[in-house]
């Protein structure tokens, strides 16, 4: 055998393109490595009105009972004792209108045609990521949106009771107890907190002992519930020390009005000469609390409760 042939073969290398590396095809792993975003908190627990088949994006108006300070828990109805055959007490109840208008929300990305051709699952992956982005955007807006051409966030509702914390940037056991005292909600009640408050909760004490413990005086894991209500941590909540870093809410008092969508469509025309495709997603949605002020107690109207208690 020609010794030169052995030398030639030995010089071929996958690490060197000109030495043979170009002949080895590049392999592509279709699985996309990513950090999974959090699931939605509000949509699964809120009151959701689906899009109308004929007019999906039209404004919807609903009657609601007036529970405000000028009325009572019965919307103004008052009954009184009276004598047999006597004139009965005239009473009435007050209604208000509550309206929601689905607003358009959209986003898009640009992908090269080469990527789309060589990654069979690219379209499904991109669409899936866009839908996850919807979840994140909606959850943020339903919690603290400003209501400008979009959802009015729960913590900005007129029905909110802002509970003043005892010490800045601190969550004390007295804060939690005070929030529970002002809360009126059913089995749908849930705490919503930022992950930045976990240390505060794990180190809560009654003055002597940790509130949550695995034994003795040793702090246990982050509690799954506070005073019987489950706690959910969301990265979308404000950080420790900000209004809304901890809230006790009943999301069923929050109404979401869906419009048309979501739609995912693609077009190669915008960047036709660049061999790129625009993939866009758009949908219509609105949201708000149907309560617009706290509810006076029946036996003590100067004291109020609410399904939305926010730690200031």
pLDDT in tens, 189-203: 999 999 999 888 888
pLDDT in tens, 171-182: 999 999 999 999
pLDDT in tens, 106-119: 988 888 888 888 87
Predicted confidence (pLDDT) at residue 31 exceeds the cutoff of 90: no
Residue 183 CA, distance from chain mean position: 20
Average model confidence (pLDDT) for the chain? Answer: 81
Q: In the predicted model, what is the mean pLDDT of residues 251-257? A: 94
Q: In the predicted model, what is the mean pLDDT of residues 274-299? A: 89
More confident residue, 57 or 301: 57
Tokens of 224: 């799954």
Tokens of 24: 């080895």
**Domain over 47-311 is classified CATH 2.60.40.10:** no
Dist. CA 125–CA 82, nearest whole Å: 70
Residues 292 and 157 sit within 8 Å (Cβ to Cβ): yes
Confidence grade of residue 4 (pLDDT, cut at 50, 70, 90): very low
Q: Mapping DSSP to helix (H, G, I), strand (E, B) and coil, where does residue 5 land? A: helix
Sorted by where each begins, the domain ranges of the chain are: 47-311
């Amino acid at each position: 055998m020609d010794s030169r042939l052995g030398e030639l073969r030995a010089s071929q290398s996958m690490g060197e393109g000109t030495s043979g590396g170009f002949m080895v095809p590049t392999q592509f792993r279709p699985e996309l490595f990513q950090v999974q975003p959090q699931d939605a908190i509000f949509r699964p627990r809120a009151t959701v009105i689906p899009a109308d088949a004929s007019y999906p994006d039209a404004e919807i108006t609903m009657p609601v009972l007036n529970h405000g300070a000028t009325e009572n828990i019965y919307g103004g109805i008052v009954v009184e004792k009276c004598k047999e055959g006597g004139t009965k007490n005239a009473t009435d109840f007050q209604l208000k209108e509550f309206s929601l208008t689905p607003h358009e929300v959209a986003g898009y990305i640009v992908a090269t045609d080469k990527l789309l051709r060589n990654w069979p699952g690219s379209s499904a992956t991109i669409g899936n990521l866009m839908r996850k982005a919807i979840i994140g955007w909606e959850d943020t807006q339903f919690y603290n949106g400003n209501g400008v051409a979009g959802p009015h966030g729960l913590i900005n509702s007129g029905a909110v009771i802002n509970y003043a914390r005892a010490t800045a940037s601190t969550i004390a056991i007295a804060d939690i107890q005070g929030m529970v005292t002002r809360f009126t909600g059913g089995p749908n009640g849930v705490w919503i907190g930022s992950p930045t408050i976990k240390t505060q909760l794990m180190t809560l004490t009654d003055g002597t002992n940790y509130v949550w413990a695995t034994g003795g005086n040793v702090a246990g894991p982050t509690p799954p519930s506070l005073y019987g209500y489950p706690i959910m941590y969301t990265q979308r909540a404000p950080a420790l020390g900000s209004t809304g870093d901890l809230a006790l809410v009943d999301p069923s008092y929050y109404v979401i009005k869906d419009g048309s969508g979501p739609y995912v469509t693609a077009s190669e025309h915008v960047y036709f000469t660049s061999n790129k495709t625009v993939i866009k997603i758009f949908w219509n949605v609105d949201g708000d609390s149907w309560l617009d002020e706290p509810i006076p107690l029946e036996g003590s109207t100067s004291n109020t409760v609410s399904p939305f208690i926010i730690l200031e």
